[in-house]
Amino acid sequence: MMKRWRIPLAASLMLLGASAPAANVHAATPAAVTDPASLVNPLLGTSNQGNTFPGADTPFGMVQWSPDTTSRPPGGDYAYTDNAITGFSLNHLSGPGCGAMGDIPVLPTTGAVNGGANVTFSHGNESASAGSYAVTLDNGVKTELTTTARSGMARFTFPATTQANLLFKLNADKATNLHFTKVSSTEVSGSVDAGLFCAAAPSYTAYFDMVFDQPFTSNGTFSGGDSLTFNTTGNQVVQAKVGLSYVSIANAVGNRQSENSGWDFTGTRTAAHNAWNNVLGKIAITGGTSDQQKVFYTSLYHALLHPNLLSDSNGQYWGFDHQVHTVTGSQGAQYGTYSGWDIYRTQAQLEALVAPRQASDSAQSLVNDYAQSGAFPKWSLNSAETQVMNGDPGPAIVADYYAFGARSFDTAAAKADMVKEGTTTNPIRMGLDLQTRYGYLPSDGSYPHDFYGSVATLLEYSAQDFATSAFAGALGDATTQSQFANRAQDWKNVFNSGSGFMQPKLASGSWASGFNPTSSDQFVEGTSWQYTGAVPHNVRGLADAMGGNGKYATYLDSVLSDFHGSGGSHADLGNEPSLELPWEYDYVGQPWKTQKIVRQVQDQLWPDNPANWAVGNDDLGTMSAWYVWSAMGFYPETPGTSDLALGSPLFTNVTVTLGSGGTISVNAPQAADNAPYVQSATLNGAAWNNAYLPQSFATSGGTLNLTLGTAANTGWATAASSAPPSYPGDGGAKPPGPPAGATGPVTSGIAGKCMDDNTASTTNGTKIQIWSCNGSAAQSVTVTATGTLQILGRCVDITGGGTANGTLVELWDCNGGTNQQWRAQNSTLVNPASGRCLDDPGGSTTDGTQLVIWDCNGGSNQKWTVP
């Protein structure tokens, strides 16, 4: 978000696929990473507007005790190029484009109190790791910081002096309504009103309570703050513990006391390190270079900093209705601060994959926010909406959480909220009345409107509507699924087939004059070149509208020929609108180009060097999550689903421990920086020739084995049936196929044979078989809007939801499961959950042979003609 720069970076890697041999790359078996937290370098992202922070924190914690430097870049408040620290403040945002947080900074000084002091430092005297930060300032004071979830701990080592000071610069970052109270000679407390994110009004009050392990000898005030002075001639170490709360000082005390009752700094720092290992270790990697491992775990670390705890240790939190609430039921904690425009694309899915409990609580938090305010947050700071950015991302975030395994929240309330938000006037879904009237958002001023970037906003709404559709479908609500899947195709109304671009359209129905695809007019942080591919739920439909695979691949070739955002005619892989583009080659039969471009992006934009960082705003972990997904070898292209477009991994092994108890294992023995190209693959032991992974892979696990090489295999996963699913608006359950409501026989590619319900039974478990076509009720199949095939009111079902080759097909009560969904593609019937085709085993012509699912192979025994 808010990226206004671009620094071209010369590519240092070889041109992949130019003339390299196809031989596989072999190396000694590398060791698995056992202490991922030790590889995290929080200084990565603190330059070139990455806007991350290097200080101490725990996963999704309330406290981020971190240094602020003189240029105070947005969110992180720390620039690697600065050489002076203004203070160490208690809370931060990681990577946004506007400033906020940075509340209650404390700066250690010596000598006479100077409230305006800044203290110089050098990176040679600085260290940062997961859960801790330390620096020896040029004034001789060593500052060490660590945290628990809701409290911080500091160890200040001063020179021996009677004038060892801690300056509390309370008015930092434009904070107002400053309060500071001396409770005793070893305790102070206070509060500030803060917020002002992207010029939004103050949105929260931060309360703190800090105690010391030795008394201060005097205290005073200065403009905008207060000071404490210690005598360190006898004991040079002053330890401090601080509790933070957004409810009250009493709760800040409670947070500190409940989470850190002793004075064991080393033990607290070790606990923070272990907390990071617990979550980072959910993804274990083997192989890759040392730099790649560091960038990977640093990216995973950055992706798990937000959203943040809002509720205190007693369960209380400040709500969107400006009232104090208490967490109830199965919800463990309330979370806040959602960078919605950003995180629905990558971070929400990753949070659910590795931290499903926190993601479930995050989803419930959003449902609570809706109950308190009447809308899902778009871009919230703590417990207030800032109205930053465009679109309606809240429903997509919730749907993403659910799709990737976070299911412990009130799904019924979430669905009802999604429907209401998408069909009634509210402050988030701007322009809903105009979209309902025109099918798009007019770009002219003929009618008053409160949205901006008309084309970009419509594309956001389309993708987010599809997420609502997918969520409703997963809950068995076919009506809502169809309603929102159909509206998710409104992108077609701003696609000009004549120009091949998404374009602004007037209320009259005419295209706006003077269109330039390199202009950002009616787009948001991007151009039409970058946004034209922004239909992640229906790439197939977009490619067809553009004129077919060849023309769409040409568009991708052009826009991705440079991915540094140059001239507005190329992708910007340092910003959100371009994130999906490299993966879209998978949809048009050229997956080797996905493998190539993704590796180039990894190598050029993600160095293990904080001074040369080349990615823009990390946007609360969004960009970092993209790197994590890509390094594992796949990407969550379609909002609200667990569909994964396939690339190739950086590492020889990636193992993900899922909350469901399953395990994802990706094995690529030949993985190397110059070997991104898939030569062949197996999934769960069977040959896999698809450029995607089935939905069950992300939620239940599986084993993907890849053979990689240094030259592109232009024959692997290129068939039409090998493309990832697209969803054209027929209910959201299947890509292009027969019209919903059609009834008749499903005929086989084997002459004279039809799909048949054995004895026309309606008993669950009745086999679906091959039989001579006879026009009976047992062969009368109805195609529904939800992608099911129904016979006599029941659904054609894959036994037990199995995904393996040879799993039997039978009749069962319709239940909305993905094992009852089929998509007609290239004369086959594909089950999206397994990625396998409806198959007549061995091409049997014997009546009564039960149908199964099997790897799609194009055989006549997998050809079906639907009514």
Domains and CATH numbers, the chain: 39-278 (2.70.98.10), 283-722 (3.30.2080.10), 743-865 (2.80.10.50)
Is the torsion defined by CA of 608, 611, 613, 617 positive or negative?
A: positive
Q: Which amino acid is at 723?
A: A
- Residue 382 to residue 636: CA distance in whole angstroms: 27
Order of strands, sheet of 794-798, starting from the edge strand that comes earlier in the sequence: 743-744, 781-783, 789-791, 794-798, 809-812
SS in 3 state form for 513-524?
CCCCCCCCCCCC
As a 3-state breakdown, the chain gives helix, strand, coil percent values, each rounded to 5, of 30, 25, 50
Residue 693: both structure tokens together: 């992974």
Q: What letter would DSSP give residue 695? A: H
Low-confidence ranges of the chain (pLDDT < 70): 1-29, 446-448, 730-741, 785-786, 825-826
Secondary structure, 3-state, 744-809: ECCEECCCCEEEEEHHHCCCCCCEEEEEECCCCHHHCEEECCCCCEEECCEEEEEHHHCCCCCCEE
Contact 648, 679 (CB under 8 A): no
For tokens 């160490």, name the residue: 88
The amino acid at residue 614 is A
For residue 863, the 8-state DSSP code is -
Per-residue tokens: 390: 């465009």
Contact between 719 and 712 (Cβ < 8 Å): no
Model pTM score? 0.86
Specify the DSSP class assigned to residue 216. -
Helix (H, G, I), strand (E, B) or coil at 815: coil
Question: What are the backbone dihedrals phi and psi of residue 847, each rounded to the nearest 5 degrees, phi first?
Answer: -55, 135
Cβ pair 708, 679 in contact under 8 A: yes
pLDDT for 14 equals 29
Q: Give dist(CA 836, CA 665) in Å, integer.
A: 20
Contact 123, 85 (CB under 8 A): no
Residue 361 DSSP SS3: helix
Q: How far is CA 111 from the centre of its chain?
A: 48
Q: Beta-carbon neighbour count of residue 497 at 10 Å?
A: 10
> What pLDDT sits at residue 730?
66
β-sheet bridge partners, residue 156: 143, 238
And the tokens for 260?
A: 């850190």
Residue 229 and residue 182 in contact, taking contact as beta carbons nearer than 8 Å = no
Judged by phi (left if over 0) then psi (alpha if -120 to 50, else beta), residue 405 lies in left
The distance in angstroms from the start CA to the end CA of the chain is 47
CA–CA gap between residue 475 and residue 275 (Å, rounded): 34
Q: Are 622 and 342 spatial neighbours (Cβ–Cβ below 8 Å)? A: yes
Q: Strand pairing of 663-667 and 702-709?
A: parallel
Rg (CA), the chain: 28
Query: Measured at the alpha carbon of residue 199, what is the angle toward residues 177 and 351, in degrees to the nearest 5?
Result: 100
Cα separation values, 303 from 254, 346, 621, Å: 28, 9, 4
SS3 135: strand
